[in-house]
Structure 1
Amino acid sequence: MTAELVRGQNHPLSQTRLEIRISAGTPIVAGATLGDEQGRIHGVERVAHPGAPTLPGLEVSRQAAADHRLAVDLDAMPESVHRVSVLLALPVGDGGAARSNGAGSGGGPTRFGAVAVPFVAVTGLDGTEIATYTLTGLEAESAVIALELYRRQGAWKVRAIGQGYADGLADLFTDQGLPQAHQLAGDILEAVAQGMARSVPAPPPRTDGDRSRQTAAPALGPDQGGPAPQGASGPVPPQPTSPYGTQTPGIPGGPSPEPTSPYGTQTPGVPDRTAPQPSYQGGADTTDPHHTSAPTSGGSINYSHPRRQNAAPPPPPAAPPAQPGQPAPPVAGDATGWSMDERLYNQVWGMFEDLARTTAAYRSAVDFADSRMEKELDQVLSDPRSRIGGQGDAAREAAQAKHAQLVNQASATLDRDIAQLTAESEVVEPALPPAYARWDNPVWHGYRVPMEMPMALRLGDLHLPESAQLRIPMLVRLPLERGLWIDSGRGGSLDGSFTDSHDLRRLAMETAVAHAARLLAVHPAGEFTVHVIDPAGSGAQALAPLVQTGVLAAPPAVGAAGVAEVLARLTQRVDLVQMAVRGGAPDSLPPGFDTSEQLLIVNDFPHGFDDRAVNQLRYLADEGPAVGVHLMMVADREEAVGYGPLLDPLWRSLLRLTPVPDDHLADPWVGHAWTYEPSLVPPGSQVLQQVLTEVAAARAKYR
């Protein structure tokens, strides 16, 4: 299973011969440094770059390109090398190094905040993805350490870094202790400017069989190590091969190709969903809205899934014939996949990408129209002869007319695309299975405990200001690869104006219960266990449905002693499973060991937590998901401010959600700020009680 990393997370490497695949929306320079245990590099001969692309165990690209493949052989690394840092840089505007060497005088972007978010995947030689990382959160930086491969106790791991440098490569190399930092930075940019090199081969063309909508994941937000709409992440939806491919927003329906976009060269249209897209593997947030893993360039997504049959997928349902001059009527499940669940999952994320791109095209067109009108008006005002009189008035009217024409064209295209997506949503929403459906969907009235775990779970809805009525389901892949944080602070509302802290805490806990109930409902009987820590008992009312139906493993733990007991038990479980897996003996676990997925809900953190408990909680957040132990925090970050930066990695490792609408999630293509709304049970509905009663009955039979 691919690990979708967020900043600071690590993942073990089971192979030593690797490829590092990099996708960006603009040409960038890729390189790598070989460092010691402290990450310091001791000479220019330990830096692989376009001017010197080959080192022992390492080869990088010889030129700036939008896509790179770096070859790594960790067994061939010198014994003195403990860290391999992969760096990315913009080939122009790289601080003083570029200017002093005559490089960087072109017209390209000078900071990562102005280009599409880079995506990095560590793969085996067969293209199988091991770990992926979307570098959200970059703004003024022109160079960045994307990730590092490092030795730890004789084994290699990969860690997502995302450390950016506004002063470019010179600052990056200086930070790694290289004495010749400025000289080397200039040499690299000069080598790129002179075109020293071969081009990186493009990924193979996609066949008709590959032209399926897939999914992408949201980007991380500022509070979780990513840019505000990380997403989304970061919000929601799934992950990139290159999520950017060659397609990008331009002026929709515009008469000329004048406007350009940092995201690509092809104006996105809703009907065209053939560009490479990301597949979602977990949750992310802008904090990271969606979490996904990138398929290999040009290849198909690996739909491996527990207990999933490997039979060839049946063809998707055929759309009814279109009326002359009209688009084909939408059909639920028209994406490809091994099952209807996968088809619907891919279709939902295709809708998410379509809405992101068509909105980006509209905004790009409006921005272009505004800048064009400004430029034309400036020209009029700069000439004293045309400032007054009929000539000046005519010029102003002409500029305003052109502006209105461009904006109207963009609006018409956006309206058309939103209408088509709305029609598709109206067909898809009623067809969704329980794992993807809202709580008010009639599918819950016929609910039965499933025999198989679904591939994804709905955590809420996403929408944009231009299409407030069109809701896209926010789906995350299962099993969860990140914990969840339900933000009960006042900053968790859209404008921070939700001032009743008591109501907000109550809503946060109700949101957590709804998510936990859905997780229980979509797993087979006995394959998902929920524990609760509620030190002060403040969540008793919200927890009542879980407690009264008997679906919890034990009553909610209260007091400091209860906190310590539950954390000790779960950390011991993580240790046991890790030892069994690392020792190659997964069947050696103690008799009666509960092998189901575990969820720990923590309310009122850090109340009842001492320093030891805090460290255990961080350990569960970091190491638990890989061995089936997941964390759901209901907390106000401000209440834990006394711990200082000690807890920053904890918050960043969790997918931040809110109990009320909030625009903290971003998509991985253009970084829109998506408004997230949680999936809550309608007031007065008994559906939650009915579903949990079914789950409890199935658990009783299973035992």
Structure 2
Amino acid sequence: MTAELVRGQNHPLSQSRLEIRVSAGTPVVTVAALGDEDGRIHGTEWVAHPGAPTRPGLEVSRQAAADHRLAVDLDALADTVHRVGVLLALPAPADGPGPARFGAVAAPFVAVTGLDGTEAASYTITGLEAETAVIALELYRRQGAWKVRAVGQGYAGGLAELFTDQALPQARQLADSIEEAVTRSLARSVQTPPPRPSDGDRSRRTATATPAHHPDQGTGTAPQGAPGPVPPAYGGGPAGPPGQGGPQPAYPAGAADPSAAATGGPIDYSHPRRQSAAPPPPPPTAPPAPPGQPARPVAGDATGWSMEERLYNQVWGMFEDLARTTAAYRSAVDFAESRMDKELEQTLSDPRGRIGGRADAAREAARARQAQLVERAREALDRDLAQLVAEAEVVEPALPPAYARWDNPVWHAYRVPMEIPMALRLGDLRLPEADGIRIPMLLRLPLERGLWIDSGRTDALDESFTDTHDMRRLAMETAVTHAARLLAVYPAGEFTVHVVDPAGSGAGSLLPLTHSGVLAAPPARGAAGVADVLGRLTQRVDLVQMALRGGAADALPPGFDPSQQLLVVNDFPHGFDDRAVNQLRYLADEGPSAGVHLMLVADREESAGYGPLLDPLWRSLLRLTPVADSHLADPWVGHAWTYEPPLVPPGSQVLQQVLTRVAEARRTGRS
């Protein structure tokens, strides 16, 4: 039976391997600190935090999120460790919009569970006001047994004050390093998908275990019955009628044995119903499947108010299904490895087991059991992946141009649309366990976050890239491809592209835009050109904001262009002085609300040499790469997804044909 604790109350723990689940309703940072018998933290190596998420017996998330799952193995802790403190902190307001104190948000909820999901104790942290960091729970050892105590001690000075109170000499340095690790993760998060229904109304459900978070799964956390919305990392909120709540991902309850659960039945691929004020149009139905076989996939079998919305929701459902079935497989493999290690440790700890062939036989038996569990988990994964492949095969050809790859035949029948689509395809996402499946990465429109196309070298580069020039050229070509797609999915005249190319180094890559005549003006060059474009766009943002604040949105100057504006900046920050950088930061922060968006092509490592002035700009943009790179994380279990940019097939003329039609529609004023 679950013990609902109040501040100061304790409760015994019967299991050594635990999960601590945090639901805060707003992004928070989780930290776990080890203490000795007196509760003293001996050094930074005794703290697990986003910059160093694993310590012996501990594992925490690498990013700020509304929901967290911390893994604790009490048996793996050193004998000198007698306390484990679970700390929560709000990210610094400089990292983006968000509450500045716990008193402004819903009370955080913390639960201690076993690996089977059974809840041992829970605690709702109430009474917080100006605090920005809090010691939520404390696991402590007393006479050889472990207990949990509800603490709820808050600190207005954040983690620095908390660590100082714990007599940690490097308190300020550690707090700063944690904040830096959190800010780095902001440019690595994939958008939170549309809302899931409650547990009682879930038709798209995995029959797999709730996986524990592991170091090789990238950054992020897996939500578990989140009571509040998980804010999207980029793009807008979920699709649906106005006033509908934010995303609320839910996770099915885990099974007692992760390895056994991973071998459960296949995923049911019918998508959850959207809760709304009026019933959406009925989705298409698939022919009945043979008895005992999974349902045949159908494009648009998710629910929504239009086929476009149904396809959008179906793509996000596929993304979540792949994330969760892969997490269950990884959890089962980790469980098998952990059980084998424990069996081998028990064998070697018995002196009698080291004599003769008993030790060898025990080792072989342990390895055989481990291999059997892994094989069963792989069979379950392959079964789920086969169903996802079948679904992808029917969904991909049915996607509209805004969601489709450049090699999709839908582009050959392209016409300039009459309405703005819900979302835009930025590329594809995949996982190493499912290399044959590509999930479209959809960005909600209108844009709410700019893009940073990283032109620096990465580990993913092959030997054909011998110098940075090739990488910069490819990055600019990728930016042109993104800009062309944005132009193509907006109605005629409702999207305008400006280009700043101070040194003219991107002239070759910009040819598709310049030759087709879709740019508002020739690419701006030199300091004067940069100042002119930035000045006009900054003035535009000021005018729109003043009109909105004054309630006179229809009082803008005559001839004001109401279209969405995109500024593509090549080779940033070369050719930009401090004033220009500050203007770009202003456009990144305030521009989206006024219809002005940024796309910077720059080398992150090289830009670091310009000092902290560029850090806020870097953190405010979504980082993409021109080559396949594992740098994006999902909002459930934090898998490190490999992002693949949207490439035009070699020799294809589809990009030129599409831009030609866009330019013609702009000239004639028709679609």
TM-score by length of 1: 0.67
- Which among 87, 94, 109 is matched to residue 143 of structure 1? 87
Letter in 1 for 2:212: S
- Which among 629, 653, 656 is matched to residue 689 of structure 1? 656
Structure 1 residues 240 and 342, CA, compared in 2 at 3 Å: closer, same or farther? Answer: closer
Structure 1 residues 624 and 675, CA, compared in 2 at 3 Å: closer, same or farther? Answer: same
Where does residue 331 of structure 2 map in the other structure? 364
Where does residue 507 of structure 2 map in the other structure? 540
Letter in 2 for 1:431: A
List aligned pairs for 1:455-604, cutoff 5 A.
455-491=422-458, 493=460, 498-604=465-571
Where does residue 380 of structure 1 map in the other structure? 347
Alpha-carbon separation, structure 2, partners of 1:608 and 1:660: 26
Q: CA deviation at 1:195?
A: 6.1
Alpha-carbon separation, structure 2, partners of 1:551 and 1:27: 64
Letter in 1 for 2:89: I
Letter in 2 for 1:614: V
Structure 1 residues 149 and 648, CA, compared in 2 at 3 Å: closer, same or farther? Answer: closer
Say yes or no: does 1:635 pair with 2:602: yes
Contact 2:63 2:181 in 1 (8 A): no
Identity percentage of aligned residues: 62
Alpha-carbon separation, structure 2, partners of 1:383 and 1:437: 61
Alpha-carbon separation, structure 1, partners of 2:387 and 2:617: 41
Alpha-carbon separation, structure 2, partners of 1:413 and 1:555: 55
Letter in 2 for 1:438: R
Letter in 2 for 1:316: P
- Which among 246, 256, 260 is matched to residue 295 of structure 1? 246
Partner SS, residue 634 of structure 1: strand
Q: After superposition, give the CA deviation of every residue in 1:182-214 in whole Å (9 maximum; x if it has no partner).
A: 9x9599999x956699xxxxxxxxxxxxxxxxx
Say yes or no: does 1:430 pair with 2:397: yes
Say yes or no: does 1:397 pair with 2:352: no
Q: CA deviation at 1:638?
A: 3.1
Structure 1 residues 278 and 695, CA, compared in 2 at 3 Å: closer, same or farther? Answer: farther
Alpha-carbon separation, structure 2, partners of 1:638 and 1:590: 42
Letter in 1 for 2:556: L
- Which among 208, 212, 230 is matched to residue 261 of structure 1? 212
Structure 1 residues 477 and 695, CA, compared in 2 at 3 Å: closer, same or farther? Answer: same
Alpha-carbon separation, structure 1, partners of 2:458 and 2:415: 38
Contact 1:278 1:292 in 2 (8 A): no
Where does residue 286 of structure 2 map in the other structure? 319
Structure 1 residues 595 and 543, CA, compared in 2 at 3 Å: closer, same or farther? Answer: same
Alpha-carbon separation, structure 1, partners of 2:633 and 2:463: 19
Say yes or no: does 1:615 pair with 2:615: no
Letter in 2 for 1:512: A
Alpha-carbon separation, structure 2, partners of 1:390 and 1:525: 79
Q: After superposition, give the CA deviation of every residue in 1:587-607 in whole Å (9 maximum; x if it has no partner).
A: 111111111110000001112
Q: After superposition, give the CA deviation of every residue in 1:161-199 in whole Å (9 maximum; x if it has no partner).
A: 99xxxxxxxxxxxxx999xx99x9599999x956699xx
Q: CA deviation at 1:642?
A: 3.4
Q: After superposition, give the CA deviation of every residue in 1:123-152 in whole Å (9 maximum; x if it has no partner).
A: xxxxxxxxxx789999999434325789xx
Where does residue 129 of structure 1 map in the other structure? none
Q: After superposition, give the CA deviation of every residue in 1:587-644 in whole Å (9 maximum; x if it has no partner).
A: 1111111111100000011122111111101111111111110000011123333321
Where does residue 161 of structure 2 map in the other structure? none
Alpha-carbon separation, structure 1, partners of 2:378 and 2:621: 37
Alpha-carbon separation, structure 1, partners of 2:327 and 2:495: 40
Structure 1 residues 378 and 687, CA, compared in 2 at 3 Å: closer, same or farther? Answer: same
Letter in 2 for 1:145: A
Contact 2:24 2:228 in 1 (8 A): no
Runs of 5+ unmatched residues, structure 2: 10-19, 41-46, 54-58, 73-83, 103-128, 141-146, 153-177, 215-223, 239-244, 251-271
Structure 1 residues 395 and 639, CA, compared in 2 at 3 Å: closer, same or farther? Answer: closer
Letter in 2 for 1:576: L
Partner SS, residue 641 of structure 1: helix
Where does residue 649 of structure 1 map in the other structure? 616
Where does residue 348 of structure 1 map in the other structure? 315
Alpha-carbon separation, structure 1, partners of 2:569 and 2:643: 22
Letter in 2 for 1:653: S
Alpha-carbon separation, structure 2, partners of 1:28 and 1:111: 27
Alpha-carbon separation, structure 2, partners of 1:138 and 1:511: 40
Structure 1 residues 463 and 441, CA, compared in 2 at 3 Å: closer, same or farther? Answer: same
Structure 1 residues 69 and 679, CA, compared in 2 at 3 Å: closer, same or farther? Answer: closer
Structure 1 residues 444 and 621, CA, compared in 2 at 3 Å: closer, same or farther? Answer: same
Structure 1 residues 405 and 457, CA, compared in 2 at 3 Å: closer, same or farther? Answer: same
List aligned pairs for 1:22-101, cutoff 5 A.
66-67=22-23, 94=33, 96=35, 100=38
Contact 1:237 1:476 in 2 (8 A): no
Q: After superposition, give the CA deviation of every residue in 1:71-114 in whole Å (9 maximum; x if it has no partner).
A: xxxxxxxxxxxxxxx97767xx5555x96579xxxxxx976743
Contact 2:343 2:366 in 1 (8 A): yes
Q: CA deviation at 1:396?
A: 1.6
Contact 1:483 1:654 in 2 (8 A): yes
Structure 1 residues 118 and 434, CA, compared in 2 at 3 Å: closer, same or farther? Answer: same
Structure 1 residues 296 and 671, CA, compared in 2 at 3 Å: closer, same or farther? Answer: closer
Letter in 2 for 1:362: Y
Alpha-carbon separation, structure 2, partners of 1:224 and 1:243: 33
Partner SS, residue 508 of structure 2: helix
Partner SS, residue 587 of structure 1: coil
Q: After superposition, give the CA deviation of every residue in 1:299-323 in whole Å (9 maximum; x if it has no partner).
A: 999999xxxxx97521011111101
Contact 1:243 1:278 in 2 (8 A): no
Contact 1:333 1:347 in 2 (8 A): yes
Structure 1 residues 51 and 585, CA, compared in 2 at 3 Å: closer, same or farther? Answer: farther
Q: CA deviation at 1:384?
A: 2.3
Alpha-carbon separation, structure 1, partners of 2:412 and 2:284: 25
Alpha-carbon separation, structure 1, partners of 2:273 and 2:508: 43
Structure 1 residues 28 and 567, CA, compared in 2 at 3 Å: closer, same or farther? Answer: farther
Alpha-carbon separation, structure 2, partners of 1:440 and 1:676: 18
Alpha-carbon separation, structure 1, partners of 2:320 and 2:407: 25
Partner SS, residue 491 of structure 1: coil
Contact 1:481 1:625 in 2 (8 A): yes
Contact 1:94 1:143 in 2 (8 A): yes
Structure 1 residues 592 and 700, CA, compared in 2 at 3 Å: closer, same or farther? Answer: same
Alpha-carbon separation, structure 2, partners of 1:222 and 1:422: 40
Q: CA deviation at 1:379?
A: 1.4
TM-score by length of 2: 0.70
Contact 1:533 1:558 in 2 (8 A): yes
Structure 1 residues 545 and 281, CA, compared in 2 at 3 Å: closer, same or farther? Answer: farther
Structure 1 residues 317 and 118, CA, compared in 2 at 3 Å: closer, same or farther? Answer: farther
Runs of 5+ unmatched residues, structure 1: 1-25, 30-48, 53-63, 71-85, 103-108, 121-132, 151-155, 163-175, 198-220, 264-273, 285-289, 305-309
Q: After superposition, give the CA deviation of every residue in 1:411-446 in whole Å (9 maximum; x if it has no partner).
A: 000100111101100010000000000000000000
- Which among 666, 676, 683 is matched to residue 633 of structure 2? 666
Say yes or no: does 1:331 pair with 2:259: no
Give the aligned CA root-mean-square deviation in angstroms.
4.7
Q: After superposition, give the CA deviation of every residue in 1:46-85 in whole Å (9 maximum; x if it has no partner).
A: xxx9589xxxxxxxxxxx9744579xxxxxxxxxxxxxxx
Letter in 1 for 2:246: P
Partner SS, residue 444 of structure 1: helix
Alpha-carbon separation, structure 2, partners of 1:493 and 1:28: 48
Letter in 2 for 1:235: V
Alpha-carbon separation, structure 1, partners of 2:456 and 2:290: 51
